[in-house]
Structure 1
Amino acid sequence: MSTPTADVSARVAWADDAEAIAALQARAWREMYAGVLPDQAFEPQPDQWRAMLSRPPDARLRVLVAMDRHRIVGFALTAPAGDPDCDPVADGELADLTVDPDERGHGHGSRLLQAAADTLRADRFTRAVSWSLATDDALRGFLTSAGWAPDGAHRELDLDGTGVTTVKQIRLHTDLRPPE
């Protein structure tokens, strides 16, 4: 007799996933930016996701989703790194790694991170970078436990365009080349 296993996976997102990704992003951001942004800032944006999934602005922009049975429980976004000190041919970016707050600690983030690294390697990137809120110890701890490290870059983002609502971020990086 075999023990049942969970039906969990990571796959490339489809345009039909836009509603679920947008709703998940709104839930996660509501928690992440609580007290920083007003509630109306967290309205799901499925049309933006559908457009990006249907017509990505760059062929190397990828959205991956973590699945638990037939539910999307997380997503990752990979693309060429856009920072001025990065090489867009060699440096990829993990632009987002979001797991539903109620689904954290079940391995979905690890599956997504591995799928994102594999995707970046398949797109021939040799290094990956990712920005993290300076206050997001959980994400930074997760990434550093997976071999990422701060590279000294930091920035302050103006979230509402007025200069009043800002967040500080630090950049982490990892080598995507296989060990020799």
Structure 2
Amino acid sequence: MNVRLANVDDAAAIATVHVDAWRQAYAGVLPQATLDGLSVEARTRMWTQAIAGTRGRVLVAQEGGKVVGFAAFGPCRDAGASPTEHELWAIYVAPGRWRSGAGRALWRAAREAMVAAGAASVSVWVLAENQRARGFYESVGLRVAPEAGERAVTVGGTPVNEVCYVMHHAAPAYDFH
């Protein structure tokens, strides 16, 4: 498994993974019409802009030269977040590669990059009903952030709840002398 920084040439492959993963992971959670309406072309445009942008970073996991997953991350988008709070914005793996280690490889690389950029904590918002993703985040050491609670959001016109997970990477140093 190779994890590397994405480039704009990866946008279509990332978009395909994104659409396929959504259709599989959110079946029964989001309306089928919403999932059927997802467009690889629209997601390709979105990921081209995201990769070319300067706000965050996008990584891809490859096997045999083929993109099998991606992670996007950067500064925490929550109101009032400090510069040391970072956020995993998205992490998806092609459904046929779930449980292959690609997600863990992406998580490790993203976490290392965020810590190297000064992250004291990393958070991720996940659909409350997405038990597979919640289990993944718990397995890599993130915990529900009780102070954040749940929040109601609308995805594709459907109201859903998200829950925040967090991992604190470094505690503040205290000088007791």
**Quick one: which amino acid aligns to residue 111 of structure 1?**
A
* Root-mean-square deviation over aligned CA pairs: 1.7
Does the 8 Å CA contact 1:12/1:65 hold for their aligned counterparts? yes
SS of 1:42's equivalent in the other structure is: coil
Compute the displacement of 1:19 (Å).
Answer: 0.5
Give the TM-score, by structure 1 length. 0.86
Question: 2 CA distance for matches of 1:97 and 1:51?
Answer: 17
Question: 1 CA distance for matches of 2:59 and 2:71?
Answer: 5
SS of 1:86's equivalent in the other structure is: coil
Does the 8 Å CA contact 2:26/2:130 hold for their aligned counterparts? no
Over 3 Å counting, the alpha-carbon distance change for 1:140 and 1:85 in structure 2 is farther
Aligned match for 1:158, one of 154, 157, 165: 154
Aligned match for 1:81, one of 70, 73, 76: 76
Compute the displacement of 1:98 (Å).
Answer: 0.5
Compute the displacement of 1:133 (Å).
Answer: 1.1
Compute the displacement of 1:34 (Å).
Answer: 2.3
Does 1:98 pair with 2:92? Answer: yes
Does the 8 Å CA contact 1:117/1:176 hold for their aligned counterparts? no
Residues 6-155 of structure 1 correspond to what in structure 2 (within 5 A)?
8-35=1-28, 36-37=30-31, 38=33, 39-44=35-40, 45-56=43-54, 58=55, 61-87=56-82, 89-152=83-146, 153=148, 154-155=150-151
Does the 8 Å CA contact 1:80/1:92 hold for their aligned counterparts? yes
Runs of 4+ that moved beyond 4 A: none
Compute the displacement of 1:155 (Å).
Answer: 0.8
Give percent identity, aligned residues only.
30
Question: 1 CA distance for matches of 2:100 and 2:36?
Answer: 30
Compute the displacement of 1:74 (Å).
Answer: 0.6
**Quick one: which amino acid aligns to residue 92 of structure 1?**
H
SS of 1:20's equivalent in the other structure is: helix
Aligned to 2:167: 174
**Quick one: which amino acid aligns to residue 123 of structure 1?**
A
Question: 1 CA distance for matches of 2:65 and 2:152?
Answer: 37
Over 3 Å counting, the alpha-carbon distance change for 1:160 and 1:109 in structure 2 is closer
Compute the displacement of 1:118 (Å).
Answer: 0.5
Alignment deviations for residues 130-166 of structure 1 (CA, whole Å, 9 cap, x no partner): 01111111211111121110012211111245xxx11
Gaps of 5+ in 1: 1-7
Give the TM-score, by structure 2 length. 0.87
Gaps of 5+ in 2: none
Compute the displacement of 1:46 (Å).
Answer: 0.7
Compute the displacement of 1:85 (Å).
Answer: 4.5
Compute the displacement of 1:123 (Å).
Answer: 1.3
